[in-house]
Chain A
Amino acid sequence: MEKAVRKYWPVFVLPTVAAFAIGFVYPFIQGLYLSFCKFNTIKKAKFVGLDNYKYALTDESFYHAFAYTLAFAVVSVVLINVIAFIIALALTAKIKGSNVYRTVFFMPNLIGGIVLGYIWKVLLDCFLSIIGQPLLALNERWGFVGLVILMCWQQIGYMMIIYIAGLQSIDTAYLEAAMIDGATKMQTLLRVKIPNVMSSITICLFLTLTNGFKLFDQNLALTGGEPAHKSEMLALNIYSTFYARSGAKWKGYGQAKAVVFCILVIVISLIQLRATKKREVQA
C-alpha cells in the first residue's frame, strides 16, 4: 500500500508543502539572513555582520521590554492559574447551574485580542477618570494592571476548562478512600486532587507562559506601548523598531531582535517539552 500512496505525492503533500515553503520556510531563512544585514527593502540588503545584534543586545528599550514581559508573564501566569483552578474546584463541587457558569467564564476567550484591548481601554479609562487618575496613555502602572486584568479575563476560562477536565478524570475511588480515612477537605485537595492533575497544571502553566511572552494584539490595542514605550512588551518592541521609525538601520535591528525573541520562545518550548515528557514517564 505504501508504494501506491507514495506515487501520489503531488496530490497529497505538494500543495501544503509548497504553501509552507512560501509562508514559512523561505521567509524564516530570509529573516535569519537579514538579521545580519542593513536593509530597507530586501533587494537592497547589505551584509553588516553582527552589528545588528550588538545594537539589539545593548538597546535599553529592548531590555526594558524584556523585563516588562517577564514581570507580566510571571504575574499573569500565577494569577490566571490560581483563579482558574479555584473556579474549576468550585464548578466540580456539584453546584446547580455549573454549566452556565462554565459557559460564561469561557466566553471572552473567543474574542480577538484587538477587540478585547479596545473594550478594556474604554472601561479602564472611564474607571481611572472617575477615581481621578491619569488615563492609560499616561499611566504606566495602570497600563500594567490593565494588561493583567485583560489577560485574566481572556484566559481564566480556558485554563478553567482544562483544569475541570483534569479534576473530572480523577478516579473517584481515590476520593472515597480519602473520605473514609477521615481526610479533611484541605488534605484531600493537597494530597489527592493536586497530585492527580499535575499534567493539567504543567500544560496550563506553559500555555499561559508562552501566551504571555508572545502577547502582541492586546498590548497594541490597550496601551500601544504608551507612555513613551514604557508599557511595550517584546513583540511590540520589535514591531515598533521595524515600522515606527524610518531609516535603513532600524529594520536590521528589528530583525536581530526578532531572532533573539524567537530563540527565547524556542527555549521555553524545549523546557516545556522536557517537563511534559517527564510527567508522562511518572504517570
Chain B
Amino acid sequence: METKKQTIGKIILSVILAIVSIAWLYPIFMILINSLKQERAISTTTVFTLPTVETFNGLKNFKEAIFAQGFASAFGYSFVITVSSLVLIILCCSMCAWYITRVNSLFSKVVYYMFVFSMVVPFQMLMFTLSATADRLNFDTPYKICIIYLGFGAGLAVFMFTGFMKTIPVELEEAAMIDGCGPIRTFFQIDFPVLKPTIISVSILEAMWLWNDYLLPYLVLDRKKYTTIPILIQYFKGSYGSVQMGPMMACILMTVLPIIILYLSMQKYIIEGVVAGAVKG
C-alpha cells in the first residue's frame, strides 16, 4: 500500500539514523582503540588514529591499570558499596513504604513528605555536614557507607514503593492475617513477591546512581585507604603531566564495558525501570 515516495523517504531516514548511531558510538570506539596503543601514540593530536603494527601495545595497558594503578581494588570497593547499599535500600525502604501506606497516622504522613522533600534537595546543601557526621560515626569505610546511602537514597525508593503499594488490595493481606500470619510474614510472603516489578525498577535506578556516584564517596570515605572507580578516574585526570594515558583508557574501557554488557542483556528491564522512575519523579 505504500507509495514509492514513502519507501524512498524511509530509506533516507534509515541511512541518516545509521550514520548518527555510528557517530553516537564513536566515543566508546575511540576509548577502545587508544587503550590498545602505546603511550607515545596517544598525544592530543593522535587520539583519532588507529593503532599500527608499531604502536600496538597488546593488553599491557590493561595489566598496568589492573595491577599497578589500583583498578582491581577500586572495582572491588565500588562493587561492595553498590551491592550492600542496594540490598539495604530495597529491603528497608520497601518495608518502610509498606508501613507508611498501611498505617494511617500523622507520623506516616510526616515521614512520607520528608522523604519526598529529600529527593529535591541538592547534595551540595549537605555535603560538608554529611561527611562530618559520617566521620564522627566511623561510617567512612566501604562496608559501612551503605548506611549513609540508605539514608540519602531512601527518598526515591520509598516514593516509588509507596506509589505501587497503594495499588495492592488490602484484602489479600487481611486474609493472610486472619489465617494467623504475623505482619512480618504477611509482608514477605504476600507483598514482597507482588512488588517484584517495582523492585527491579528501583534497583536499576539506585544501582546506576550508586555505581557512578563520585562526590559522596569522595567526601565520606577515608581517601587514603579506599578509592572507588569514579574517584580513581578523577585522580588520573588530576595528576597532570605524569598521567599515563594508555592505562587510563584501559581503565575507562573496563568501567564502561560491564555496564554495556549488563545493559544489552537486561535492556527491557533497564529501559522500563528508567521510564517508571522518570514518570513518577
Contacts and interface: CB of A to CB of B under 8 A. Distances in A.
Interface of A: 1-2, 4-9, 11-13, 15-17, 19-28, 30-31, 34, 41-42, 87, 90-91, 93, 95-97, 100-115, 118-123, 125-126, 129-130, 135, 153, 158, 161-162, 165, 203, 207, 214, 216-217, 220-221, 235, 238-239, 242, 251, 254-255, 258-259, 261-262, 265-266, 269
B24 interface: yes
A42 B129 contact: yes
Contacts of A97: 14
Interface in B98-156: 98-100, 102-105, 111, 114-115, 118, 120-130, 132-133, 137, 147-152, 154-155
Given A22-B147, A207-B281, 11 more contacts: A8-B182, A11-B184, A12-B98, A23-B154, A24-B114, A28-B129, A31-B126, A97-B14, A122-B34, A123-B27, A258-B127
A221 B229 CA distance: 14
B93 A110 contact: no
Interface residues of B, number: 93
Most buried by A among B16, B21, B152, B177: B21
Given A106-B271, A123-B30, A118 B120 contact: no
B122 A262 contact: yes
Contacts of A96: 14
B199 to A, nearest CB: 15
Contact of A104 (B25, B96, B129): B25
B5 to A, nearest CB: 12
A26 B183 CA distance: 30
B84 interface: no
A25 B114 contact: yes
A211 to B, nearest CB: 11
A5 B45 CA distance: 66
Given A24-B151, A221-B237, A112 B230 contact: yes
Given A93-B13, A109-B274, A112-B214, A259 B125 contact: yes
Interface of A is mostly: helix
B212 A262 contact: no
Nearest to B178: A1
B278 A115 contact: no
Contact of B27 (A42, A104, A120): A120
Nearest to B249: A122
B232 to A, nearest CB: 9
A-B interface, 3 closest residue pairs, ranked by CB to CB distance from nearest: A23-B151, A112-B212, A126-B47
Contacts of A28: 118, 121, 125-126, 129
B146 to A, nearest CB: 9
Contacts of A1: 102, 170, 173-174, 177
A129 B43 CA distance: 10
B55 interface: no
Given A108-B24, A162-B278, A16 B183 contact: no
B151 A22 contact: yes
B195 interface: no
Nearest to B181: A4
A130 B46 CA distance: 9
A266 B119 CA distance: 10
B233 interface: yes
B124 A23 contact: no
Contacts of B102: 1-2, 5
A22 B184 contact: no
A118 B37 CA distance: 18
A87 B100 CA distance: 41
Interface string B237-281: 100000000001100100110011001100100110011001101
B45 A161 contact: no
Contact of A220 (B100, B127, B234, B256): B234
Nearest to A119: B27
B118 A115 contact: no
B17 interface: yes
A93 B137 CA distance: 56
Contact of B128 (A12, A17, A242): A242
Given A12-B98, A112-B211, A26 B133 contact: yes
A89 B56 CA distance: 43
B124 to A, nearest CB: 5
Contact of B158 (A16, A31, A90, A239): A16
B256 to A, nearest CB: 6
A102 B126 CA distance: 37
Given A23-B150, A220-B234, A111 B274 contact: no
Contact of B154 (A5, A19, A27): A19
A216 B271 CA distance: 24
B194 interface: no
B122 A24 contact: no
B208 interface: yes
Contacts of B47: 122-123, 125-126
Contact of B99 (A5, A111, A220): A5
Nearest to B31: A119
Given A6-B103, A105-B24, A203-B278, A114 B214 contact: yes
Contacts of A25: 114
Nearest to B129: A27
